Chain A
Amino acid sequence: MKNYITIIGGGLAGTEAAYQIAKRGIKVKLYEMKPIKFSEAHVNKNLAEIVCSNSFKSNLLTNACGLLKEELRRLDSLLINIADKTSIPAGQALAVDREKFSKEVSEEIENNELIDVIHEEVTNIDKMIKEGIVIIATGPLTSEKLSREIAKLTGEDKLYFYDAAAPIVSKESINFEIAFYGDRYSQEKKKEESIDKWKKRLSNGEGKEQSYINLPMNKEEYEKFYKELIHAEVVNLHDFEKKEIFEGCMPIEIMAKRGIDTLRFGPLKPVGFDDPRTRKKTVCNCATKTR
């Protein structure tokens, strides 16, 4: 066992870990591939470079991320302390001057006598692991070579994923005057069910019915939404992302641009649903037909 702990990756997680370890008198070897090699998104030579937004989100304790920051302050987090120190006005959020932030973190880490920062790309982790404890903190843009190493280590065959996530909303913020529970087809009013019973079933979401919530749209609502959707502003993708992006997962705004009804035949298909807001009377012929 070596007399130090190895950390791979000098981002937010790696630098915080390095500080905590050194603070307790243990030596650290921190590997960072910049400035020898840059990922597709990183541009400067500093440690703890902030690539996306400069906001660390809310500082309010009534926000989970704000609470998390307070928990970390109480554990003497170097990075949150520096974020506080380099903050810029942003209302209730903690936003930082990203240059100052990364620079201060770099200085703090590089000037720490117990931390040895080594600027090289790690491509073989086997040896390091045999020698002692290793913390792998290589981030969402881990280099290809190292990704393969990690995949080997974890026994998984793939490590790259395309995050094609849809938004998530909290249930308590949904307006249930309009929304109703139920799976496609099973949500429809059953023949033997009274209107009242049916509505009750949809607003309570009994048992497994809770797995879907449905938001019905009429023609006018749909068309208004459609128009805004196809004209809404998109995020500029880094070049590296453009190449592969449309293989498996098509963004809803791209699908929508194919035609006004494309979504209604795709993810927004209304088949198998009755809208409990509306009422309709129909003559049912089914009984006579079977006779």
Chain B
Amino acid sequence: MIQEHGRRPYAIVQLRQDNSKASMYNLVGFQTNLKFGEQKRVFSMIPGLETAEFIKYGVMHRNTYINSSKLLRETYQLKSNPNIYFAGQITGVEGYVESISSGMVASLNAINQFKAKKENIIFPENTVIGALAKYISTPNQKFQPMNANFGILPELKGEKIKDKKERYKMLADRSLAKF
């Protein structure tokens, strides 16, 4: 009997789904200490990644962060002790601007608590500030630091817009309408 199938490739690079929406994929086994520019240059040589957009580069460094997905509320407040807030990269947000964003949310909530106001300051998930707060406080068995990216925002309603720029512009408009 003659069977038709593909040939076994010489090598395979596997990408593993990295978020529940399946919009991001990590390169399996590619933890690396290469410079970012080199990662883009060398990893783009992998067939299929010629024009890949690197949402995050591989890094190797010591990083201290708590398991916010278990410990924190969306206000960056410790669930087990409401007098304590965390902010910055120790919460698992990654990057300068992301750290500032967490400092903003934690302080606004601390202020309300200080003034004995009951309401929490929770930014809508459609905003990047809100999406980051939501990301770090959502239960996640494989919690890992995250930087700002459109993959953590809810998708636009209605028909999918093919043009990336156009889509990002609409996501930006949707967010800024909240401010």
A residues within 8 Å of B by Cβ? Answer: 5, 9, 11-18, 20-21, 24, 26, 40, 50, 56-57, 61-65, 67-72, 74-75, 77, 79-80, 129, 132-142, 147, 150, 153-156, 159-179, 184, 188-189, 191, 195, 198, 210-219, 221-222, 224-225, 228-229, 232-235, 237-238, 240-241, 244-245, 249-254, 263-264, 266-271, 273-284, 287
Contacts of B47 in A (CB 8 A): 175, 178, 215-217, 221
CB nearest to A161 among chain B residues = B63
- CB atoms of B34 and A232 under 8 A apart: yes
B64 and A142 within 8 A (CB): yes
Interface assignment of B89: CB less than 8 Å from any CB of chain A: yes
Q: Which of B15, B24, B89 contacts A212 (CB 8 A)?
A: B15
Interface residue ranges of B1-55 to A (CB < 8 Å) = 1-18, 22-35, 38-39, 41-43, 45-55
Please name all residues of chain A whose beta carbon is closer than 8 Å to the beta carbon of B122 when the two chains form the complex. Answer: none
Interfacial chain A residues near B86, Cβ < 8 Å: 135-137
Residues of chain A within 8 A of B80, CB atoms compared: 154-155
- CA–CA, A138 and B53, complex, Å: 31
Task: Provide 27 A-B residue pairs closer than 8 Å at the C-beta atoms, listed in order of the A residue.
Answer: A5-B110, A17-B104, A26-B111, A65-B147, A70-B176, A71-B128, A134-B85, A153-B81, A153-B84, A154-B71, A162-B62, A162-B63, A166-B58, A167-B27, A167-B30, A167-B32, A167-B56, A169-B15, A172-B23, A195-B4, A215-B13, A217-B46, A249-B31, A251-B32, A267-B28, A274-B5, A283-B1
Chain B interface, DSSP helix/strand/loop, else mixed: mixed
Top 5 closest pairs, chain A to chain B, by CB? A267-B29, A13-B88, A13-B103, A274-B6, A216-B9
Taking a contact as CB atoms under 8 Å apart, the answer to whether A217 and B10 are in contact is: yes
CB < 8 Å neighbour of A169 from B27, B42, B129: B27
**How long is the Cα–Cα vector from A67 to B123 in the complex, in angstroms?**
14
For the A-B complex, the count of residue pairs with Cβ-Cβ distances under 8 Å equals 441
Cβ distance A69 to chain B, nearest Cβ, rounded Å: 6
Given contacts A135-B84, A169-B26, 5 further A-B contacts (CB under 8 A): A64-B149, A134-B84, A160-B63, A167-B26, A168-B26
Distance, CA A13 to CA B129, complexed state (A): 13
- Asked if B45 contacts A154 (CB within 8 A), the reply is no
Cβ–Cβ < 8 Å partners of B127 in chain A? 71
A65–B168 CA distance with the chains assembled, in angstroms: 12
Taken residue by residue from 167 to 179, chain B's Cβ proximity to chain A (1 for < 8 Å, 0 otherwise) reads as 0110110011001
B59: interface (CB < 8 Å) = yes
B145 surroundings in chain A (CB, below 8 A) = 163
Q: Are A156 and B67 in contact (CB under 8 A)?
A: yes
Instruction: Assess the B15–A17 pair: CB atoms within 8 A.
Output: no
Closest to A265 in B: B11
Q: Which of B35, B147, B175 contacts A71 (CB 8 A)?
A: B175
Q: Residues of B at under 8 Å CB distance from A?
A: 1-18, 22-35, 38-39, 41-43, 45-67, 71, 78, 80-81, 83-90, 95-104, 106-108, 110-111, 113-115, 127-129, 132, 144-145, 147-151, 153, 164-165, 168-169, 171-172, 175-176, 179
Tell whether, in the assembled complex, residue B151 and residue A170 are in contact, meaning their CB atoms are under 8 Å apart. Answer: yes
How distant is A50 from chain B, measured CB to nearest CB, in Å?
7
Docked-complex contact B14 and A213, CB < 8 angstroms: yes
Q: Which chain B residue shows the least CB distance to A208?
A: B17
A134: chain B residues at CB < 8 Å are 83-85
Select A159's contact among B18, B54, B60, B64, beta carbons within 8 Å: B64
CA distance A166 to B114 in the complex (A): 41
Query: Which B residues are in CB contact (< 8 Å) with A175?
Result: 47-51
The answer to whether A137 touches B147, judged by C-beta atoms less than 8 angstroms apart, is no
B42 vs chain A, min Cβ distance (A)? 5
Return chain B residues, CB-CB under 8 Å to A225.
42, 45-46
How far apart are B76's CB and chain A's nearest CB, in angstroms? 8
Inter-subunit contact B129/A71 (CB<8 Å)? yes
Across-interface contacts of A176 in B (CB, < 8 A): 48
**CB-based contact A273/B96 at 8 Å:** no
Task: Give the nearest-CB partner of B102 in chain A.
Answer: A13
User: Do residues A237 and B148 form an inter-chain contact, with CB atoms below 8 A?
Assistant: no
